[in-house]
Each structure stands twice: as C-alpha cells, then as structure tokens.
Amino acid sequence: MFDHAIHDEFAAAAVPPDLGSAQDSGDAKVEELARMLAPLSPAERMARLRRELPGRIVFAHGFGIEGQLLFHWICERGLDIEVVTLDTGRLFPETYELWALTEARYGRRIRAIYPERGELEALVAAQGINGFYDSERARAACCEVRKGRPLERALAGASAWLSGLRADQTATRRAAGLVARDRGRGLLKLNPLYDWSRAAVLAEVAALDVPVNALHQRGFVSIGCASCTRAVAPGEPERSGRWWWEQDGNRECGLHVRR
C-alpha cells in the first residue's frame, strides 16, 4: 500500500476552488456541464459525462497518481472511455513497470500513442539527442513532437477528453476549470479531480490500494520524461521538478496550455 505520509509536506490544504467563476466562458454547454458535475464525486463526474455526451471520450493517462486513480474508477465502473498514453520514448523504467503492472491489475490494455518517426528523426537531427536543454524553444519543440502531436492524433474525432490536472498544482491549472472548451481543439475537456487537493488524492489512492510509480517514494512528485524530471525537496511546489532548468514558472509541456 502506498505510504502517503511520506509526502505530507507536498500536500496542499483542501480548499476547493470557485468552480463557478472558472467556468464563466460564455459557452452554454460548458456552463451546463459545470453546474451539473460540480456537486458530484470525480468518479460520478466521469460517469455522468459519459451518459450526457455522445461520441468518443478519451482519457490521456500519464501514469501519475491522479491518472492512476481516474483509471481505477474507469475500470471499476466499466466506463466506455478510451484510455491512451503518450509514450515519448524517454520515460523512466519505473513508468514502464507501472504500465505493465496496471494492465495486469485491471485486465485492460492502455493504448500507446508514439511520436511520428520522421518528425522525431528530424527533431534529433536538428537539435541533438539532448538539445531540449539548450533553450525553452528547443524544449517546447521536443514536447510538441513527442507529446503534442501524438495527443492530437489520439483526440482526432473525439467529443471530449479527460485529464488528471488539479487546481492546486499551479496558477495556470487553477484557471483551467472543472469543464472547459479546449481552445485550439474545440472539444470539451473535463478535469474530474480539479477541486481535489494532493492530500485527498493520496488518501484515496492508499485507501483503494491503487498501484503507483515507485519513484514517488524517492521524492519524485510529478513524473514525466526521465530527462526532464527530478525529485523535489520538501516544501517545493510539486511541479518544480519538471523542466527545472528553465526560468519560466509555467511548468507545462503544451498539452493543457497550447503554445
């Protein structure tokens, strides 16, 4: 079972954000769904969205703690939600181990979406194998090829997609809202754990015995590519270990904030 006490220093206070003001978008469907889903639990939010919305709903799973919890509920409730993951080719060995363990635990395959070979070869030829360290622009180009464009392929033709982001992670993510119209893509986006704190997620993961990445026990809080993720010190913001060499505090790859 996951020992969430080890990470108490990373847990934010459980103060729910103002869901209403975050959804003041002028989009009638977004506002309707936000009012409908706000009182529900995260699992109920996903189930209700599935009942209300026709077409494909895609969950982009990154194997973080939040994603593992959402996947647990999707499987537990047998929700007709497509689950994909973006395999950048530079994930930690521990992430691949968790991927295999998760499929075995829940008896369900998680579809891998890979970068296009030609685009990846051109990227490495232009900037070198570790060229993303050279500038924020180079890093953004790497994220786009390895994650951004694969996600576009995964979401093609979908009605909505789900993510595990939470409002208390960063100011940028707080602005995302519970439900939004994904700018640039047009489809609906639901963040079922938007108003949950990290402490609440950790407690639920422990209670349900959900498998999590072994790196969490070594101080890795938010986990992405091995080349771009480090452990964080007690008291540091949880996403400070992502692209730590950059001065920009945004700490986003572009999946949730289009560049």
Residue 33 burial (10 A CB sphere; 0-12, 13-18, 19+): buried
Residues assigned a catalytic role? 253
Q: Are 229 and 220 in contact (CB under 8 A)?
A: yes
Count of helix runs (H) and strand runs (E) in the chain: 10, 6
Residues 204-252: tens digit of each pLDDT: 999 999 999 999 999 999 899 999 999 998 888 887 888 887 876 555 5
Sheet with 82-86, strands from edge to edge, namely: 111-113, 82-86, 57-60, 160-162, 188-190, 179-181
| Domains of the chain and CATH, by start | 4-228 (3.40.50.620)
Residues 141-154: tens digit of each pLDDT: 999 999 999 999 99
- Rg of the chain on CA atoms, in Å: 18
Cα dist from 234 to 7, 144, 204, whole Å: 8, 31, 22
Residues 96-112: tens digit of each pLDDT: 999 999 999 999 999 99
pLDDT band, residue 170 (cuts 50/70/90): low
